[in-house]
Amino acid sequence: MKQKEIVLTLSILAEKGASEQELEDFEKWYPSGSATLSEVLSYLQILANTDTEYVKYVDCAKWLFDTFPPTQEPLVLNELNREIIIYNGNLTIKANIAGDHVIIGNGDLNIEGDLNGCVEIWAKNVKAKNITLDDLAEIEAETIDAENIMADDYAEIVAETIKAINIAAYGDSEIWAEKINVQNIMDDTGTRIRGEINLIQHSYN
What average pLDDT does range 79-103 have in this prediction? 93
* Residue 90 CB partners (closer than 8 Å, separation 6+): 70, 74, 75, 105, 107, 108, 109, 110
Give residue 173's pLDDT: 97
What average pLDDT does range 124-142 have in this prediction? 96
CA distance 104 to 53: 16
| Residue 30 φ/ψ, nearest 5 degrees | -130, 80
| pLDDT band, residue 111 (cuts 50/70/90) | very high
Residue 3 has pLDDT above 80, yes or no: no
What average pLDDT does range 122-136 have in this prediction? 96
Give residue 177's pLDDT: 98
Give residue 188's pLDDT: 87
Give residue 1's pLDDT: 43
Give residue 201's pLDDT: 78
| pLDDT band, residue 202 (cuts 50/70/90) | low
| pLDDT band, residue 80 (cuts 50/70/90) | confident
Q: What is the DSSP string of 30-52?
A: -TTSEEEHHHHHHHHHHHHHH-S
Residue 204 has pLDDT above 60, yes or no: no
What whole-number percentage of the chain has pLDDT above 90? 89
What whole-number percentage of the chain has pLDDT above 70? 97
Pairing of strands 7-9, 34-36: antiparallel
Give residue 203's pLDDT: 60
CA distance 1 to 67: 19
CA distance 179 to 133: 20
What average pLDDT does range 84-99 have in this prediction? 95
